Amino acid sequence: MIIGLGRFGGSLALELVRQKTDVLAIDSSPKLIDQYSEEVTHAAVADSTDPDALRQLGVHRFKRAVVSIGADLEASILTTSLLADFGIPNIWAKALSRQHARILERVGAHHVVLPEHDMGERVAHLVMGRMLDYIEFEDDYALVKTVAPAEAVGRPLGESQLRSKYGVTVVSIKRRGEGFTYATAETVVRRGDLLIVAGKSAETEKFAELT
């Protein structure tokens, strides 16, 4: 179930449908519901802050819900709170700011995302560094895609001692014309190989600067 069909909610709904997932889409805008009605499993115009309206739609029977309401902070918070009251075990909510995120967590959201902030942070890392891709998780942990540094080329990963030197773990490797494969201590790195490296954010960033 997705409540709110703005750019984020609409894109999410279409991707879930592409992955063969049934989607109930709810929005207060008839125009948006008309736009997505033939794309999703079910679509309904409703006020998501009205518990009776949500109950009539069977919202309380869902196991997963996403609140992707845009600029209306009050509606976002009230809707999230109602879903929590219904006992939905897995609630995702979109936040517009850190403060908004904290409130959503307090009223019952199990997962909170800040799409614009997270994307801005990710692009900043890509623009400023040598990374080809960057994903940061909780507890300051990150995955980075980067080109293999010269000191790792021509040697098995076990001998290059990248983990002890830089505090990172090479988890996957990709050669030209091939797909990614799991990396082992015996994997010999070649010039131009792409590496997926895991570790603390600062350490993965420093490692990427070696290329």
Question: Residues 59-73: what's their mean pLDDT?
Answer: 93
| CA angle 40–42–45, rounded 5-degree value | 110
**Residue 169, pLDDT score:** 94
Q: How far apart are CA 194 and CA 199, in angstroms?
A: 16
Judged against a pLDDT cut of 70, whether residue 211 lies above it is answered with yes
Tell me the two tokens of residue 109. Answer: 């959201």
pTM attached to this predicted model: 0.69
DSSP state of 46: -
**Least confident range of 22-31, 130-139, 162-171, 200-209:** 130-139
Mean pLDDT of all residues in the chain? Answer: 91
Q: Tokens 């609630």 correspond to what residue? A: 91
**Residue 35, pLDDT score:** 94
**Least confident range of 22-26, 36-40, 203-207:** 203-207
Topology of the domain comprising 122-208: Alpha-Beta Plaits (3.30.70)
Q: How confident is the model at residue 63 (pLDDT cuts 50, 70, 90)?
A: very high
**Residue 176, pLDDT score:** 87
Tell me the two tokens of residue 62. Answer: 């869902």
pLDDT digits (tens, 9 = 90+) for 147-176: 999 999 999 999 988 999 999 999 999 998
Q: Among the CATH numbers 3.30.450.40, 1.10.287.110, 1.10.760.10, 3.40.50.720, which is that of 2-113?
A: 3.40.50.720
CB atoms under 10 Å from CB of 19, counted, come to 8
Domain regions of the chain by residue span: 2-113, 122-208
CB atoms under 10 Å from CB of 209, counted, come to 13
